Structure formats: C-alpha cells, structure tokens
Amino acid sequence: MVQMGDPEPMDDPFSLDGQVALVTGSSRGLGRSIARALAGAGAHVVVNGRDAAALGATAKAIRDDDLSVSVASFDVRDEIAVKAAIGGIIGDLGRLDILVNNAGITFRKPYPEMQTADWQHVFDINLTACFRLAQEAVKPMMARRHGRIINTASVTSFIARPGIAAYVAVKHALAGLTKTLAVEFAPHGITCNALAPGYFVTDATAALASNPEFDALLRRRTPMGRWGEPDELGGATIFLASRAASFVTGHVLTVDGGLTIAL
C-alpha cells in the first residue's frame, strides 16, 4: 500500500518514470554515472556543475542515448543561485522528486599544513551546500508529500586516512545530516539516505590510482581485490531513489567492495 504521496504503483518498483532528479556535481566522475543511471531508470535528470563544457558533454551523452536531461549550471555554494535553480526546475518541469547531493571536493595535505581556508572550502561544498540544497528541495517535496534526498557520503564517513582531515570530518558530518533529515521529514513522505562509495576509478582518484604503493594497498585491503567502476554505483542510487526503497530512510549504504568490513 503506497502512502504519503508516493507515485502511483507500477509493475517495476525500480522505475523512475515521470520523476525529476537534480544531481549536483554531475559533469564528470561518479556524479555523471549517477545522472546516467537515474535517466536510464526513466527520470528526467537535471545535471549540475560549474564547468560548462564538461556539463554540456555530459548532457549530450545522456541525450544521445534517447534519455531525458537538462542542464542547471550553478555554484552549489551560492545560496541565491541554489534558490534560483530549484525555483527554475519547479517552474520549467513542475516538480522535483529526487535530489542527489553529490558535489564534493577534497585537499590532500598534512594536518599541520592545512589552512583554515582549505578546511572551510571543503565544508562549504561538501556539507553546507547539501544543507542549503535540501532545505530548498524539501519545499516542493513536502507539497507533493513525496521526495528522495540522497547524499554522497564516503567510506570515510566510517574510517579515516591521514592527509584528508577535512574530508573525513565532513563526510562523518554528512552521515549525521542524512539521519537528521530522515527523522525530520519522514512524516512528510520524504526519505533521506546516503551512498558511501569506496574507491572508484575517476579523475578525482587518478593520483591515488597511479601510485603503485596505494594501488597495491587498496587491492589487498578490499575483499573484491579491485577498484570500483563508476557505473557500479548506479544500481544503489536507483534503489534509494525508487519506490523499492519506500521504507528505507536514514541509511548510509556502502558500495565499497567490502573495504569497510575487512580487517
């Protein structure tokens, strides 16, 4: 029995037909794969980023597969731009069902050398932007009594590595924000969950992947013995966005090849 404004039941509980999704930081890497997966499941996907050329290329690739996509280029740190973007989506498309807070950044620097500005920059993009985007997105979701918020956390929401103190701290905080939003908005038919990717092959991890010592460590430490491929995050995202996860909220879903469960 569907309650709280969920879309009408369909034969496929994983279908996102007729829904609208905004994926931040989706011009490349994991965000691009997430956007492609949601579009493939039937959603109209609004891709976001600051690199106009990369964003256009992502939209074209999705469109070339006969999938539905549009572009919203804005800086997730800009509160005015965030409000305008959400308002534009509602004005143009009439609804917003799914928000994927994926935009993120990190600095690799020893803790004693980290500047306050470095720390703040990581928090502004990886946490404060998620707060603002969710705050705007829940307004139309509450009106429809249905919505899905998915935050891109990390295995560093649970474990730590040296040299990325701000990133580890902010991903722990994002897991906490996910649970807080889940509790507050469940009565309004909105779920909030997080993905916690392990190490995937992307531009952002190129330096680590090309480091033989780290590559060997990761393969030895991960039960599956390899890096993840970006497309392997798609299924988990579709699940959390879909009717199949209608009773799942406040969960941080690891997609890490077993990294965080192995000693």
- Active-site pick, 74, 167, 199, 239: 167
CATH of the domain at 179: 3.40.50.720
Q: How many domains does the chain have?
A: 1
- The predicted model gives 17-26 an average pLDDT of 98
Give the residue among 50, 3, 65, 23 at the shortest CA–CA distance from 238.
23
Q: Is the CB of residue 43 less than 8 Å from the CB of residue 19? A: yes
Rg, C-alpha atoms of the chain: 18
Give tens-digit pLDDT for 125-162: 999 999 999 999 999 999 999 999 999 999 999 999 99
**75 domain residue, yes or no:** yes
Give tens-digit pLDDT for 95-134: 999 999 999 999 889 999 999 999 999 999 999 999 999 9
**84 domain residue, yes or no:** yes
Cα 112–chain centre separation: 30
Q: Is the CB of residue 47 less than 8 Å from the CB of residue 100? A: no
pLDDT score recorded for residue 203: 87
**10 domain residue, yes or no:** no
**261 domain residue, yes or no:** no
**77 domain residue, yes or no:** yes
Q: Is there a catalytic annotation at residue 111?
A: no
Give tens-digit pLDDT for 199-251: 999 988 888 999 999 999 999 999 999 999 999 999 999 999 999 999 999 99
Give the residue among 86, 233, 58, 82 at the shortest CA–CA distance from 153.
233
Mean of all residue pLDDT scores within the chain? 94
Query: Which domain range does residue 73 map to?
Result: 20-254
Nearby residues of 56 by Cβ (< 8 Å), 6 or more positions away: 71
**124 domain residue, yes or no:** yes
pLDDT score recorded for residue 259: 97
**Local confidence band at 9 (pLDDT 50, 70, 90 cut-offs):** low
**13 domain residue, yes or no:** no
**260 domain residue, yes or no:** no
